[in-house]
Amino acid sequence: MIHLVNTMSAIIVNNLTKYYGNLLALDSLNLSVNEGQIFAFIGPNGAGKTTTIRLLLNLIKPTEGEIRLLGLNFKTNEVLIKQKIGFLPGELSLYNNLKGSEFLTYFENLRKYSDKKYIRNLSDRLDIDLSRKIGELSKGNKQKIGIIQSLMHRPELMILDEPTSGLDPLVQQEFHQILFENKQEGKTIFLSSHVLTEVEKVADRVGFIRDGKLVIENDMENLKESSQKYVEIKFSEHIERDELMKIPNITDVIINDETIQCIIKGPIDPFIKIIAHYAITDLSIRDQDLEEIFIDYYLNNKGSS
């Protein structure tokens, strides 16, 4: 077993494996999330995201491997760890007969911690009326109460599963700002989301999981730099296809009269130097977004182990 040591890591997962009977749900997962980082954990349904989160929270036990959160392990520090964690489940279940304020007071009493000013600040920013019974609220407003519950005690580590489910775009934007503020304070956010446009906006680092294995982990900036670029150029003259095919890492070349469409993967400088010899009337270059990167990687590596 490889032991990872990093005093700056808020989450360390070492060779984590989980079987449900004969079903392998998580296969030797190794993961390190730095303090003060927003880490996005993404993958298709059934990939192992929920199992990983349940293991991180000690809701289920691993078959093999170990977990350290904030430098601590659950065997000797479970109460302390849970005091330092804020958790928002993907399938949120609240007490419908309570008012929003009563629900949050219940958690204040459980945690023996209260910051009424911060709770008011969060409820104002997320635009939620805490005087109404939870059972009367829409899905989006229930989600807001779940978010407040996960953040109200100012945890050092937030584990958030599909946090913006049901939220309208303006509230999503405000929630993202709240995440950035927590990050600036040195807090760590572990985020699982199917909304890849959201992940692209907020995450510093991304992990893709498939069939219980972490298949890629990288900084968001590095992912974008290594991604494909979609190029469309209009020339005032005809260009021979053979000339374009000299360019490294060019694929999917389509020539229609004086218009060329192609894909560039890797450095774009060689491409620019060649087309600069021709008169260009229009040029469009678009980077792959995270959803396209994920789909491309997933499909191209579907058969690999």
pLDDT in tens, 83-131: 999 999 988 889 999 999 999 999 999 888 888 999 999 999 999 999 9
Provide the residue count of the chain: 305
Residue 263 Cα to chain centre, angstroms: 26
| Range 289-305 average pLDDT | 65
Q: How far is CA 217 from the centre of its chain?
A: 11
Token pair for 33:
């999330």
Domain-wise residue ranges, the chain: 9-223, 228-287
99: left (phi over 0), alpha (psi -120 to 50) or beta: beta
* Residue closest to 288 by CA, chosen among 247, 228, 235, 245: 228
Residue-wise pLDDT tens digits, 151-206: 999 999 999 999 999 899 999 999 999 999 999 999 999 999 888 888 888 999 99
Which residues have a Cβ under 8 Å from the Cβ of 64 and sit 6 or more positions away?
15, 16, 17, 28
How large is the C-alpha radius of gyration of the chain?
Answer: 23
Cα distance between residue 284 and residue 234, in whole Å: 9
Of residues 205 and 267, more confidence is placed in: 205
Contact 154, 43 (CB under 8 A): no
Q: How far is CA 76 from CA 67, 69, 254, in A?
A: 12, 12, 62
In CATH terms, is domain 228-287 a member of 3.30.70?
yes
List strands edge to edge, sheet with 64-69.
Answer: 23-34, 9-20, 64-69
Q: What is the pLDDT of residue 4?
A: 44
Q: CATH second-level architecture of 9-223?
A: 3-Layer(aba) Sandwich (3.40)
Q: For residue 295, is pLDDT > 70?
A: yes
pLDDT value of position 2? 41
Average pLDDT across the chain, whole number: 87
The residue whose two tokens read 């078959």 is: 63
Fold equal for 9-223 and 228-287: no
Q: What is the model's pTM?
A: 0.80
- Find the distance separating the first CA and the last CA of the chain, reported in whole Å: 20
User: In angstroms, rounded to a whole number, what is the distance separating the alpha carbons of residues 293 and 158?
Assistant: 26
